[in-house]
Amino acid sequence: MTDQLSFESIQELFEQAAKANADAWASQTAYFDGLVKRNAECFKGLGDARMKSFKEMSEAKTFNQAFESNLAFEDKLREDLSALQEENIKSWEALMENLKAIYSPAPKKVAKTKKAA
């Protein structure tokens, strides 16, 4: 294969690399923004739930009521953290697919040949 190295082909190569880097940066920035937002929302909700459970525990009239309040918080904790993990994994997989698409080489153009009749 004899590819011609010309100013235009080198310029095109640099333009494609710059575009790929800009697209990758945008994709990664969106991933990290989403990650921070998801984690912050989850932990804020868990902090609020913990404070609510502490209040319920302090107002409980029996040990069983206090214990049930704490169990309810633990259930919420498990559910919310599992959901957060699933969302973060899906987001990570989407980022990897985006980066793979950005950095995968474009398919080579195949010259068409005429078939003999």
Could you read off the pLDDT tens digit of each residue along the chain, which spans 117 residues?
Answer: 446 788 888 898 899 999 999 999 999 999 999 999 999 999 999 999 999 999 999 999 999 999 999 999 999 999 999 999 999 999 999 999 999 999 887 776 655 555 554
Burial class for 116, CB neighbours closer than 10 Å (0-12, 13-18, 19+): exposed
Q: What angle do CA 61, 66, 71 make, to 5 degrees?
A: 155
Cα(104)–Cα(24) distance, integer angstroms: 12
For the chain, what are the domain ranges? 22-102
Which residues fall within 8 angstroms of residue 76, CB to CB, at 6 or more apart?
46, 49
Ramachandran region of residue 33, left (φ > 0), alpha (ψ -120 to 50) or beta?
alpha
| pTM listed for this prediction | 0.75
